[in-house]
Amino acid sequence: MPKLSMRRKGREIALQILYQCDWNTIENIDKVVMEYARDLASEVIPEDDPALAFGQSRLQGVLTHKAEIDSILKKNAEHWRLDRMASVDKNILRIGAFELCYCPDIPPKVAINEALELAKKFCGEESSAFVNGILDSILRHRETAEKS
C-alpha cells in the first residue's frame, strides 16, 4: 500500500474512533482500536497493518493533547464554539491541528490537505472550506510566532 494511502486510511481510522469517543465513554483506547479493526471497519484490518498503527498514533496524539488542541481551535475558529461544531468537523480539525502542531515530520500543507480530504469524504465541500479556513489560520499564526 502506498505511504500516502496508508496514512490516509490511518487518519480515517482515527477520525472514526474519535467520533465514537464524543458519544461514548471509552476507557481502553487500544481495545477500541482492535475492536474497530476486527468488527467495525468496512473490511477486516489485520492487527499488524501500518495504517492501524498510524491511526492509533493520531488518535493517541489527539487524546493526549486534546485540551491544548481545543484551545488552539477556539482561538482560530472565529465566531464558532467547539460545542456548536459538528462532531466530524471538530475531530477532523483536531487531527489536522495535532499534525500541524505536534508532528514536525508532516509538512503543514500535507496536514491541511489530508484534513480537507477527510472533510470532503465524510462531510462535503462546505465542511472542507470550513476546515481549510481554520487550519490555515492555525498555520499562519504558527508561522508568525516562529518569525518573532
Of 40, 33, 7, 38, the closest CA to residue 118 belongs to 7
DSSP 78: T
The fraction of the chain above a pLDDT of 90, given in percent, is 59
Question: Which cell numbers in the block locate residue 123?
Answer: 462531510
Q: What is the pLDDT of residue 146?
A: 82
Domain that holds residue 64: 3-147
3-state secondary structure of 77: coil
49/80 Cα distance (integer angstroms)? 37
119/131 Cα distance (integer angstroms)? 7
Render pLDDT for 58-109 as a digit per residue (tens, 0 to 9): 999 999 999 999 999 999 998 889 999 999 999 999 999 999 999 999 999 9
Mean pLDDT of the chain: 88
- Average pLDDT of 28-37? 69
Check whether 115 has a pLDDT greater than 80. yes
Instruction: Give how far the C-alpha of residue 142 lies from the chain's centroid of Cα atoms, to the nearest Å.
Output: 18
CA Rg value for the chain: 15
3-state secondary structure of 113: helix
Q: What is the pLDDT of residue 28?
A: 67
Check whether 57 has a pLDDT greater than 60. yes
Which CATH number fits the domain that encloses residue 116?
Answer: 1.10.940.10
Q: How many domains does the chain have?
A: 1
Q: What is the pLDDT of residue 2?
A: 59
> SS3 breakdown of the chain: % helix, strand, coil, rounded to 5?
80, 0, 20
